[in-house]
A and B are shown apart, each in its own frame.
Chain A
Amino acid sequence: MFEMFFTFMRIGLFTIGGGYAMIPLIEEQVVRRKAWVSAEELIDLIAVAQSCPGIFAVNISIFIGYRRRGTLGALACTLGAVLPSFIIILAIALVFRQFRDNEIVERIFRGIRPAVVALIAAPVFRMAKSAKVNRYNVWIPVVAAIAIWLLGVSPIYVIMLAGIGGYVYGQYIKE
């Protein structure tokens, strides 16, 4: 149990830049070193974890933990994956707020902010490719973006509607 906790803590600690950066690390630790799951199983788990809501890395750790030791195992792996970020971010939050109004920090962040917007804009095109957006369904992301951006619709409703729409279309209209 402790081994699972520490393995996922290491994975959480060394992943910078989001969930997908974790895959090679998980592969190395969980498949090659500890042999907790096979490589094929991991590919299946990744597919399921990707299509489920929530944080990809957390989903994967719950899956693997559950496979190994049931609910308690899932708990140990999740805690391991979450705890390092929680502590690091909390420390930063406590310190950063005091420096935020500092002239130098403000200048640095004035340069960083446009870059962050670009870092969010860039994966739009990468994701469009992997989500198989083509000229027949390109209206879906366009309408979704406009509804959220200009009309202020909550993304939660957009997600619900898109899921129900896809289901109804596939089950009853296309057939």
Chain B
Amino acid sequence: MVLLLLRLFWTFFLIGLFGFGGGYAMISMIQSEIVNRYHWLSTGEFTDIVAISQSTPGPIGINSATYVGYCSVVNAGYSHAWGVAGSAVATFAVVLPSFILMLIISRFLLRYYKHPAVEHTFSGLRPAVVGLLAAAALLLMNEENFGSWSQSPWQFSVSILLFAFAFISQHVYKMSPIRIIVLCGLAGLVLM
């Protein structure tokens, strides 16, 4: 148990430390560490967490740390109380690097943030974060989220349509994510 909590702490500490580019980029780290490496959650569960994080108040990074912390402990067979401890550990760990870094920066480094060395570093970092985000989306395009043509052609086709609908309404029409999630949830209820 203690080992699992320590691992959770360390994993989320790293996610907080290297989480450049905000919540969405963090999602790709959570996915690769929590789902693909440690198998604390299934891909389906992970996608549900993202949906819940996006439609509830608060930063996505905090929401997903809290949720993942709880679920990984309970999935490992421990009680709800330990699950609450897990979510507290993960949330604390994801915030801690920010806290340390921000204090150092506000104290000493605020005037250096326009320094060429910093700008050069970010000229490599920024495009890479875009790649991170693309990888997160590509990794989620799988059977667990879309179903498969051979098992259920109907579910697969509806999934593709909903994906296209959500993408266009967000990218072109800037519809709010909550509205998209609610509409697609209703479509799922009626059609699948």
A contacts, CB < 8 Å to B:
12-20, 22, 47-59, 62-63, 66-67, 71, 74, 78, 81-82, 84-86, 88-90, 92-94, 96-97, 100, 104, 107-128, 131-133, 137-138, 140-149, 152, 154-156, 158-167, 169-171
Q: What 9 pairs across the A-B complex have the smallest Cβ distances?
A: A111-B188, A166-B124, A85-B58, A170-B120, A144-B131, A54-B98, A162-B128, A141-B131, A118-B166
Whether A155 contacts B167 in the complex (CB less than 8 A), given A82-B62, A90-B87, comes out as: no
Per the bound structure, the CA–CA distance linking A9 and B162 in Å amounts to 35
Q: Is the CB of A167 within 8 A of B120?
A: yes
Q: Is the CB of A17 within 8 A of B176?
A: yes
Q: Is the CB of B155 within 8 A of A110?
A: yes
Per the bound structure, the CA–CA distance linking A165 and B122 in Å amounts to 10
Per the bound structure, the CA–CA distance linking A109 and B181 in Å amounts to 9
Q: Is the CB of B22 within 8 A of A55?
A: yes
Q: Is the CB of B167 within 8 A of A122?
A: yes
Total A-B residue contacts, Cβ distance less than 8 Å:
391
Q: Is the CB of A74 within 8 A of B184?
A: no
Choice from A18, A62, A138, A141 contacting B54 with Cβ under 8 Å:
A18
The closest CB in chain B to the CB of A144 belongs to B131
List 26 A-B residue pairs with CB atoms under 8 Å apart, sorted by A's residue number. Answer: A16-B56, A20-B22, A49-B102, A52-B101, A55-B19, A55-B95, A71-B103, A78-B99, A82-B58, A110-B159, A111-B184, A112-B48, A113-B159, A115-B162, A115-B184, A116-B140, A118-B165, A118-B170, A123-B24, A132-B127, A145-B138, A146-B135, A158-B131, A165-B124, A166-B125, A170-B117
Q: Is the CB of B129 within 8 A of A113?
A: no
For A111, what are the chain B residues with a Cβ–Cβ distance below 8 Å? 158, 162, 184-189, 191-192
For A140, what are the chain B residues with a Cβ–Cβ distance below 8 Å? 124, 127-128, 130-131
B contacts, CB < 8 Å to A:
14, 16-29, 32-33, 36-37, 44, 47-48, 50-63, 66-67, 70-71, 74, 80, 83-84, 87-88, 91, 94-95, 97-99, 101-103, 105-106, 110, 113, 116-141, 144-147, 155, 158-160, 162-167, 170-171, 176-178, 180-181, 183-189, 191-192
Choice from B25, B160, B184, B191 contacting A112 with Cβ under 8 Å:
B184
For A169, what are the chain B residues with a Cβ–Cβ distance below 8 Å? 120, 123-124
Q: Is the CB of B98 within 8 A of A58?
A: yes
Per the bound structure, the CA–CA distance linking A169 and B124 in Å amounts to 9
Q: Is the CB of B131 within 8 A of A89?
A: no
For A127, what are the chain B residues with a Cβ–Cβ distance below 8 Å? 21, 24, 129-130, 133
Choice from B56, B116, B120, B138 contacting A149 with Cβ under 8 Å:
B138
Q: Is the CB of A13 within 8 A of B57?
A: yes
The closest CB in chain B to the CB of A140 belongs to B127
Per the bound structure, the CA–CA distance linking A143 and B165 in Å amounts to 28
Per the bound structure, the CA–CA distance linking A48 and B94 in Å amounts to 18
For A88, what are the chain B residues with a Cβ–Cβ distance below 8 Å? 56-58
Q: Is the CB of A53 within 8 A of B139?
A: no
Q: Is the CB of B101 within 8 A of A53?
A: yes
Whether A113 contacts B24 in the complex (CB less than 8 A), given A55-B94, A66-B106, comes out as: no
- B185, chain A: closest CB distance, angstroms: 4
Per the bound structure, the CA–CA distance linking A147 and B84 in Å amounts to 35
For B184, what are the chain A residues with a Cβ–Cβ distance below 8 Å? 111-112, 114-115
